[in-house]
């Protein structure tokens, strides 16, 4: 089973850059999308169906053109869970989950800490999300949480660790949180297979950062421990350029 996660930084803009053609070539079974910046009523949904994804689910922020997540699937899930039931989190459309017989897949868009107010919001979200997942795992043990976590875990995950240690996304408190999240029963699937440096999933649009590979690894496919033996591959697709992020992939045995 091939699962892709991709922060598209606006699905309508990505569609104009060849997203559908790329999706058909990449051919995942499931793709988790973040930052769609759209309500489904604003889209021609037949393009996804014609591409081979008849089952598509959209969970949008109340505010149009902001945040929002989606999941496209080739096969029909048993259940779709929109949001977390925590109002302030769901208001921004950041969590969507589909459940199959023996696996559940979530698309997550964790907030960024662009200013003091949003950083405080991010910390609250992180704490409440951890509590939510702790409870969820009691019900669903085989869980994959794909998405933009807006945090680099270790120095290897960022191009300038010394210079950016006081920047949101690489603050000690954020790094500690994602480390604890992993230690509470998840596998960072990319690092499980790959220990090489200079592997990133996001680059600023400024200063030619992508061409110079001055990036951050903000996107993860976190796989719950019970699925460890089913992990096959995990990798990043930096050649896909529909966004300031690039897709990440995890493959598991069915």
Q: Give the number of domains in the chain.
A: 1
Q: Which two tokens stand for residue 251?
A: 């493959």
Alpha-helical regions (H) of the chain: 11-16, 19-26, 46-50, 87-90, 116-139, 172-183, 189-193
For 193-237, how does the pLDDT look when each residue is reduced to its tens digit (9 = 90+)? 999 999 999 999 999 999 999 999 999 999 999 999 999 999 999
User: Annotated catalytic residue: which of 29, 99, 148, 157?
Assistant: 148
Question: Which residues pair with residue 79 across a beta bridge?
Answer: 99
**Residue 183 pLDDT grade (very low, low, confident, very high; cuts 50, 70, 90):** very high
Q: How far is CA 39 from CA 31, 67, 234, 247, in A?
A: 17, 10, 30, 21
Query: Which residue range(s) make up the domain with 46?
Result: 2-252
Q: What is the mean pLDDT of residues 74-103?
A: 97
Q: What is the CATH number of the domain that holds 215?
A: 3.60.10.10
For 166-175, how does the pLDDT look when each residue is reduced to its tens digit (9 = 90+)? 999 999 999 9
148 among known catalytic residues: yes
């Amino acid at each position: 089973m091939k699962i892709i996660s991709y922060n598209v930084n606006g699905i309508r803009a990505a569609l104009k850059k060849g997203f559908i053609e790329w999706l058909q070539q990449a051919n995942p079974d499931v793709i988790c999308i973040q930052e769609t910046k759209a309500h489904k009523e604003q889209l021609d949904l037949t393009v996804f169906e014609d591409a081979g994804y008849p089952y598509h689910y959209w969970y949008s922020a109340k505010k149009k053109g902001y945040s929002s997540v989606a999941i496209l699937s080739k096969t029909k899930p048993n259940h779709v869970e929109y949001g977390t039931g925590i109002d302030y989190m769901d208001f921004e459309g950041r969590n969507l989950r589909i459940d199959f017989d023996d696996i559940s897949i979530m698309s997550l868009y964790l907030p960024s800490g662009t200013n003091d107010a949003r950083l405080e919001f991010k910390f609250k979200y992180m704490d409440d999300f951890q509590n939510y997942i702790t409870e969820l795992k009691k019900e669903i043990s085989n869980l994959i949480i794909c998405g933009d976590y807006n945090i680099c875990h270790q120095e290897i995950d960022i191009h300038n660790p010394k210079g950016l240690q006081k920047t949101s996304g690489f603050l000690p408190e954020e790094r500690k949180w994602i480390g604890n999240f992993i230690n509470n029963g998840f596998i960072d699937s990319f690092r499980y297979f790959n220990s090489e440096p200079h592997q990133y999933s996001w680059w600023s649009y400024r200063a030619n950062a992508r061409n110079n590979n001055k990036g951050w690894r903000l996107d993860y496919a976190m796989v719950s421990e019970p699925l460890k033996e089913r992990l096959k591959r995990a990798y990043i697709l930096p050649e896909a350029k529909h966004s300031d992020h690039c897709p990440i992939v995890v493959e598991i045995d069915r």
